[in-house]
Amino acid sequence: MFFFLLACSGEPPPVDTTGEDTDTTGEDTGSAIDPQYADGITLLSLDTETHADFGYQIATYGVTKDYAVSITTPQQDGTPRFHILSPAASTEARPVLVIMHGGAMDVDTKIPIGEKGRCTSAHGASFGEDYAANHQTGQLAARLGWVVIIPENSFCDAWVGMGGEDPYDTRHGGFALTTAAINYLRDGQDAVSSGDDLVLMGHSAGGRGATFFTVRSPAVSALIFDSGTSDVVRYYYEDGYTRNELRYLQDCLDHNLGGPPYDDKSTQAPSEFWPGYLDLGLVQALEGERLSVPVFHLHNSQDGTSPPIQHEDVPELLAAREAADGTPWFTFDANHSIPGHPQLPKSWSAGYSALQFAQGAQVAILEAESGKGDVGELVVENVMLNNAGVSASEAGTLVSIDLPAEATGSVSVVPVLFTDEAASGTLATVTLTDGISTTSVLLSAEVMPQAGDTIAVIARYIEDARLTLKSTGALTVTVELTGAGTVAADAFLIDW
């Protein structure tokens, strides 16, 4: 069990352990959870049917009053909410993934909707409901036995708001809501036991929020940073650092953090508000030695919202930290235009590597085209890691690639292969060898995913296509086409 930064007040929420359905609202909840809690968490809805075949359910909760931290009224309207994807019931300790969405920053002095309309419950719900239903990495995590928490940010506070304790605006509650959701899970919701792995994942503005939360919360075990603003000080001061208007960004950060990072930019004299910037920016947190957990850093050189300039200093800082204390890190340029920003909500493949990394594995993402020249146009348009891969429809070697030399010991490989609707039967043989030992798998059209397939298909494919070999030397992975039908190879996901 992990124990969170802020202690929980009062007794833990009651959990019905009778095994009978509980219904105090007139609806069949299909669960043994009492939907009403005395200390401020209310079960608003529970979907036990949609994902039942895959072992998890989706619950939505509202925070109606203080719960472990001070959450007062929501920013503008409605009830602050969070979603939990979890096993229906389990006594096994589960890793926990918290997903913080983007679009969580606005100039909320423009009541009631802010300059960009991000200060309403409808805005938070648009992200929260979509992520709960469709976030590919979140769905994959739940399918693989994680508990996934998805808070909704209707506070437009960059995820830094402390609720009633916030020094700048007590209507801001992004940090407080996330804390309440984690504490609620820790206290035994849904009979799920939370393990030691508490991983924060943030997209865009949520990447900054996840950094802020990780720095200030010692229970966090890893940070997955996706397409956020790595250097928040440059974000504040530099035109061209993002396509957002500089005045708008400065107004937002002034309101969220109290003021600018420097009293005098020319001398870089820190202002009284500097501590907030030190924790919100990935670059600042690393430079200030504030961030001690492993970091999975994902960006995209074709991303106009979070362009390469935002990420150029991160690899050097992470490498220097590893040299000093051995803390693992991983950075990857997704370099695709579909989707351009962010990456993980629509990418099960990068998400799978992120989850493996967060649980202590060393990982590599090896793109298929790096091992073979162009052999034809990619037939699967929405391949997520890179929409320049290799494809073919005739028997023979599609791709053969040497794995990174550092991949040693017990090494696993998941080939990211796709096919089209017309394919049938056995299509490919994937082989992993070190020249002495060999392991292989036959993949059929019925197993191999198509672009846009459901996470159930993806999860089954990962189980069926994953190769593991205890290597004694350099490893090579080869894809041989054996049947009729087009196969596209995009990448190989490697962990050891």
Instruction: Give yes or no for residue 385 having a pLDDT over 80.
Output: no
Contacts with 411 (C-beta within 8 Å, 6 or more apart), sequence order: 403, 432, 468, 469, 470, 471, 475, 494, 495, 496
* Beta-bridge mates of residue 46: 59
pLDDT score, position 55 = 85
CA distances 276 to 204, 220, 280, 286, 325, Å, are: 18, 18, 6, 14, 25
Q: Which pLDDT band, with edges at 50, 70 and 90, does 236 fall under?
A: very high
pLDDT score, position 75 = 47
CA distance 344 to 150: 14
CA distance 120 to 287: 35
Q: Could you tell me what percent of the chain has a pLDDT over 70?
A: 81
Closest CA to 209 of 137, 323, 90, 124: 124
Closest CA to 366 of 343, 346, 345, 390: 390
Residue range 249-272: average pLDDT?
94
| DSSP conformational letter for 69 | B
Which position has the higher pLDDT, 42 or 357? 357
Q: Which pLDDT band, with edges at 50, 70 and 90, does 188 fall under?
A: low
pLDDT score, position 4 = 36
The chain-wide mean pLDDT, for the chain, equals 82
CA distance 295 to 330: 6
Q: Please, what is the angle between helix 121-134 and helix 136-143, to 10°?
A: 50
Q: Where are the beta strands (DSSP E) in 116-252?
A: 147-151, 193-203, 222-226
Closest CA to 188 of 13, 48, 305: 13
pLDDT score, position 24 = 29
> Parallel, antiparallel, or unpaired: how do β-strands 41-47 and 410-419 relate?
unpaired
Residue range 48-69: average pLDDT?
80
CB 332 within 8 A of CB 365: yes
Residue range 41-66: average pLDDT?
86
pLDDT score, position 475 = 96
pLDDT score, position 481 = 92
User: In this structure, which amino acid lies at residue 352?
Assistant: Y
Residue 316 backbone dihedrals phi, psi, to 5 degrees: -65, -40
Closest CA to 462 of 35, 144, 180: 144
Which position has the higher pLDDT, 184 or 376? 184
Confidence (pTM): 0.87
Residue range 42-55: average pLDDT?
89
pLDDT score, position 192 = 61
CA distance 421 to 450: 7
Contacts with 441 (C-beta within 8 Å, 6 or more apart), sequence order: 429, 430, 464, 465, 467
Residue range 334-363: average pLDDT?
84
Q: Tell me if residue 196 falls in helix, strand or coil.
A: strand
CA distance 111 to 63: 22
Q: Which pLDDT band, with edges at 50, 70 and 90, does 77 fall under?
A: low
Chain region(s) in the chain for CATH 3.40.50.1820: 41-361
pLDDT score, position 69 = 52
Q: Which pLDDT band, with edges at 50, 70 and 90, does 121 fall under?
A: confident
CB 107 within 8 A of CB 114: yes
Residue range 293-305: average pLDDT?
89
pLDDT score, position 147 = 93
Which position has the higher pLDDT, 399 or 190? 399
Burial code of 121-137, b = ≥16 C-beta within 10 A, e = fewer?
bebbebbbbebbeebbb
Instruction: Give yes or no for residue 9 having a pLDDT over 60.
Output: no
CA distance 219 to 224: 15
Residue range 106-117: average pLDDT?
75
> Parallel, antiparallel, or unpaired: how do β-strands 487-495 and 363-367 relate?
antiparallel
Chain region(s) in the chain for CATH 2.60.120.260: 365-495
Contacts with 38 (C-beta within 8 Å, 6 or more apart), sequence order: 10, 13
Residue range 3-31: average pLDDT?
30
Residue range 71-87: average pLDDT?
73
Instruction: Give yes or no for residue 103 having a pLDDT over 50.
Output: yes
CA dihedral 213, 218, 221, 226 (to 10 degrees): 20
What CATH class does 365-495 carry? mainly beta
What CATH class does 41-361 carry? alpha beta
User: In this structure, which amino acid lies at residue 95?
Assistant: P
Work out the number of other CB atoms within 10 angstroms of the CB of residue 24.
10
Which position has the higher pLDDT, 304 or 197? 197
